[in-house]
Amino acid sequence: MATVATVLARKGTTVVSMIASDSVLNAANLMNNQGIGGVIVTDGEEMIGIFTERDVMRRVVAEQRNPATTTLREVMTAPVVSCRPEAPLEDCSAIMTAKRIRHLPVTDENGIVGILTSGDILAYQAKDHETTIEHLTDYITTAG
């Protein structure tokens, strides 16, 4: 059974974070430039929230807030749902589905160690299925 650590080993553990007093405009620009869908919001060293594309849509645009003057603290999602590196992917996928979220910070005793996304899970499953198909094809080809 695949774990979150397996996916993070393949994808990497880069975590992009911003402080709670940063503006939504700065966060949106950073997310766009980095090609990411969300950032961790911190207060000092502590993760206090997450800000995603969905937050931009629901809490900024839909509420007609000014992104230049709105802070992440005002519109971030908190508290943050997270998982552990040893968690099975199936469990994390179920959490994401139940909570209707696409970004799941990964934490251990030292703090945040990565972010698991729904896209990461799909990419892992696709690669896993591809490998299984290759093995079955090889087996059928050599057995016949």
Per-residue confidence (pLDDT) for residue 142, from 0 to 100: 82
As given in the structure block, the two tokens for residue 18 are: 């911003």
Structure confidence by residue, pLDDT tens digits, 26-59: 999 999 999 999 999 999 989 999 999 999 999 9
Could you report the per-residue pLDDT of 111-141, keeping only the tens digit for each? 999 999 999 999 888 777 677 777 677 777 8
4-143: CATH topology:
CBS-domain (3.10.580)
**What are the residue ranges spanned by the domains of the chain?**
4-143
pLDDT at site 129: 67
Please report, as a single letter, which amino acid is at residue 43.
Answer: D
What mean pLDDT comes out for the span 50-72? Answer: 98
Q: What is the pTM of this model?
A: 0.84
Residue with tokens 């896209």: 119
Q: What is the b/e burial string over 120-138, where b = at least 16 CB atoms within 10 angstroms of the residue's CB? A: bbeebeeeeeeeeeeeeee
Can you give the pLDDT at residue 144? 59
Average pLDDT in the chain: 93
- Whether residue 11 is predicted with pLDDT greater than 80 in this model: the reply is yes
